[in-house]
Amino acid sequence: MDGAVQPAENGRVRSDRVIAVEGLSKSFGGKIVVDNIAIDVRRGQVFGFLGPNGSGKTTTIRMLCGLLTPDAGTGTCLGHDIRTEQTAIKRRVGYMTQRFSLYEDLSIRENLEFIARVYGMDRRAQRVAAALEQLGLVARQNQLAGTLSGGWKQRLALAACILHEPELLLLDEPTAGVDPKARREFWDEIHRLAARGLTVLVSTHYMDEAERCHEIAYIAYGKLIARGTVHDVISRAGLATWLVEGEGLGALAERLRKTDGVDMVAAFGTALHVSAMDEAALERATAPYRDDPRWHWERSEASLEDVFIQLMTQSRSEQP
């Protein structure tokens, strides 16, 4: 149950609500970057934060972890007020940015030991050993960080984020620029951490990553426009979709894009997704093509990508 209070641990009362904010807003130079956003994240969740570039994702994350003060809005992160207890929040949060920012002329182990010393952590040797083991870095611990591939640099950055044993990880597009295998391995590790009770909020552009989250939130132009499980977001979008296979799909796609009643046409491998918000209008628009023996049509559930493209298009049209 949301907001349920757990027994005290180390003298501190725990709540299942790790992030609970509403009305979160931020402007820069008179331009609204984040506009009245509400987020609720429970302990142990992997929560996906999605949206196009410039949508306000990074600004929101920085407000949640105490790096920025919101212009408006209230709420808590790990039980601390996001406006007045930012220092306390930062102590209990691990924040991983898009850019690799560790020392490339130090080894993996030396990087972790340096971070532990700089921040005056206790049990330094134990913490470093645990991070190396947890992220599968033991065999490479003496390798210079500058010689690592993107995937291994990503693991080192994550190890650095968990050295101080945070309760919340904020990951800002952490898998940008790494190969699919490294991305999958990274997400496997994220879910292992969450299974141990760590809460993770991660921003991403990748639809396959969004589908691995327990819940997602999608923002565009600073506004929250969808949230929930992937199934819920797709269901609530109400996007009627046909899957089309056959010959000459390129020419068919161009014709359909010019047809009234069709909102979106997208190629997925050897098939097309043909979608619209108005199901009846889509039925009428596609009827002449569905009788053509060159193509096989069948009703399909919209993909998450279909839904997000439609949401982004709607949000753009609503901008002044």
The pLDDT tens digits along the chain (320 residues) read: 334 334 334 434 356 889 999 999 999 998 999 999 999 999 999 999 988 888 888 899 889 888 899 999 999 999 999 999 999 998 899 988 777 678 899 999 999 999 999 888 999 999 999 999 988 899 999 999 999 988 898 889 999 999 999 999 999 888 877 788 888 888 998 999 999 889 999 988 788 888 999 999 999 889 998 999 999 999 998 899 999 999 999 999 999 999 999 999 999 889 999 999 999 999 999 999 999 999 999 999 998 988 988 887 776 656 65
What whole-number distance in Å separates Cα of residue 266 and Cα of residue 253? 8
Return the residue matching tokens 């639809």: 207
Domain segments of the chain: what residues?
5-92+167-229, 107-165, 240-301
What whole-number distance in Å separates Cα of residue 24 and Cα of residue 38? 6
At residue 53, the 3 state secondary structure works out as coil
Q: Are 210 and 216 in contact (CB under 8 A)?
A: yes
**Interacting residues of 52 by C-beta distance below 8 A, sequence separation 6+:** 220, 312
Confidence (pLDDT) at 12: 42
Quote the strand ranges of 16-146, DSSP E: 17-28, 31-42, 46-50, 72-77, 80-81, 93-96
- Find the largest Cα–Cα distance for the chain: 72
Confidence (pLDDT) at 128: 96
Specify the CATH superfamily of domain 240-301: RRM (RNA recognition motif) domain (3.30.70.330)
Q: Are 260 and 285 in contact (CB under 8 A)?
A: yes
Confidence (pLDDT) at 145: 93
What whole-number distance in Å separates Cα of residue 116 and Cα of residue 110? 10
Q: Are 230 and 304 in contact (CB under 8 A)?
A: yes
Confidence (pLDDT) at 66: 86
Confidence (pLDDT) at 320: 56
Which has the closest alpha carbon to 158: 205, 193, 126, 184? 193
Confidence (pLDDT) at 101: 77
Please state the pTM of the whole predicted model: 0.83
When the candidates are 3.90.1150.10, 3.20.20.70, 3.30.2270.10, 3.40.50.300, the CATH number that belongs to 5-92+167-229 is 3.40.50.300
Confidence (pLDDT) at 296: 95
Confidence (pLDDT) at 11: 37
Q: Taking the CB of residue 279, how many other CB atoms lie within 10 A of it?
A: 15
Tokens standing for residue 308 = 């997000």
What whole-number distance in Å separates Cα of residue 222 and Cα of residue 191? 28
